[in-house]
Amino acid sequence: MTAFFIGDVAIDEYYTAERWPGRADKGMVTELPAEIGGSIANAAVVHAGLGGETQFISLLNDSPLSQRLIADLQENGVGIDYMLTDPTIAESRNLIFLVEGEHIVLTVEMGEQPMWLTSESLEALRQPGFLYTTLYRVRRLHAQAEDCVLKQAGLLTDLRRHGRRAIFDLDVGGCAPEDMPYLAGAAVVIFNQVGFRTAFGHDDIARIGDWMRDHEIGWVVRTLAADGAEARNGETVLRTAGFPVDVVDVTGAGDTFGGTLTWCLAQGHLFAKALDFAVAAASRSVTIHGPRSGKASADEIRRWRKEVNPPMVHT
C-alpha cells in the first residue's frame, strides 16, 4: 500500500545564535549551510528510507528552487507523480535558528490557495493506505469527483470511506473545535507537548477519552521530546521512555517520529511496538545535524538502538 504525504517541502536556511533576542533587541547569528527540509517532506523521506511506498503532494511555484526540491524528493525515493504547480506563489523557505539546544522555525508565508487534486490523484488516494498530513493542508484540498466537488472535511470523509486512514501531525499548533470535522475518524493524531496543551489546556492524556470517543479518533500520541512519547486508545495508555543521547540538532525529530510510526503501522506492527520504534528513530535523529537526519533503514535504527540503553514499553 502506498502512503501519501500531503504538506510542505522547503529549503531550510540555518542559523545559530547564543540567545534568542527579545522585543526591540538585537543579536548576532552565524549562518550555516542551507538544507532541503519541510516537515511533511521530512516525514515522507523517512518513510521511504524505511522501504515504504511513498507519494508526496505539495503546491509549489515553477522556479529553479522548486525543481530542486522536487528532484531531492525523487533522489530520496519519494514519488512526486501528483505534485501541483502555481507560478504565482512565493518560494518555499524556512528560517531555522538553533538556540540553546532548541530550534525556532520561521516559515515564509505562501498563502492559502486551494489545492486542486487531479482526477488521477483522487483515484490513487481512494485506495487503502495511510495519509499523513496537517490541518493547514487539508483545509485547502479540493477535488472534482464524478458528480460533485469534494473539498476539505468532505474530501477526507470520502477518502476514509475508501479505506484511506488519516494521520495528522498537529505539532505545536494543536487544534480547536472548528477543526474537528477534519480530525473526526482519524487513525492517529500526533501532538507535541506544546500542541497538546494548546488543544486541551492540560498535560494529562488520561483525561481525553471522551474527546476521542466523541470524534471517533483511533489513537492520540503526545511526544515528550527527550522523555519519549505516550499514546492513548480507548482505555489503553502506552508510554515509551526516551533514549539518553547527546543532542546535536532537534530539527526533524518530530517528522522522523511521524514518518517512522506511519511505516510501522503500515507493516502491521502493534501500536506499542510502533511507538517504541518511532521513539528510537527520533532519538537517533537528534544526534545528527539536518532536517533529514532521521532517514535510515530499519536495520540501521535497530543497530543504533542496541548501542544505547533500551527503553521499556509498558501499559
Q: Please report, for the domain that includes residue 227, its CATH number.
A: 3.40.1190.20
Considering the domain boundaries, does residue 141 fall inside one? yes
Considering the domain boundaries, does residue 269 fall inside one? yes
139-174 residues labelled b (16+ CB within 10 A) or e (exposed): ebbebeeeeeebbebbbbebbbeeebbbbbbbbebb
* Predicted structure pTM score: 0.90
**Cα–Cα nearest to 194, from 228, 167, 219, 171:** 171
Considering the domain boundaries, does residue 33 fall inside one? no
Considering the domain boundaries, does residue 95 fall inside one? no
Provide the 8-state DSSP code for 241: -
C-alpha span between 66 and 106 (Å, rounded): 19
Considering the domain boundaries, does residue 34 fall inside one? no
Considering the domain boundaries, does residue 61 fall inside one? yes
pLDDT, residue 207, reads 95
Considering the domain boundaries, does residue 24 fall inside one? no
C-alpha span between 41 and 8 (Å, rounded): 6
Could you tell me which residues are beta bridge partners of residue 117? Answer: 143
What is the full per-residue pLDDT of the chain (315 aa) written as tens digits? 999 999 999 998 989 998 888 888 998 999 989 989 889 999 999 999 999 999 999 999 999 999 999 999 999 999 999 999 999 998 998 898 988 877 788 888 877 889 999 999 999 999 999 999 999 999 999 999 988 999 999 999 999 999 999 999 998 999 999 999 999 999 999 999 999 999 999 999 999 999 999 999 999 999 999 999 999 998 899 999 999 898 888 888 999 999 999 999 999 999 999 999 999 999 999 999 888 899 999 999 999 998 886 555 544
Domains in the chain, number: 1
Structural domain range at position 62:
3-8+41-90+112-314
C-alpha span between 259 and 15 (Å, rounded): 25
- Residue 181: phi and psi, rounded to 5, are -60, -25
Cell numbers found for residue 153: 472535511
Give the DSSP H or E segment for 126. none
C-alpha span between 26 and 24 (Å, rounded): 7
Q: Which amino acid is at 251?
A: T
Considering the domain boundaries, does residue 81 fall inside one? yes
Q: Residue 142: CA atoms inside 13 Å, Cβ hemisphere, count?
A: 11
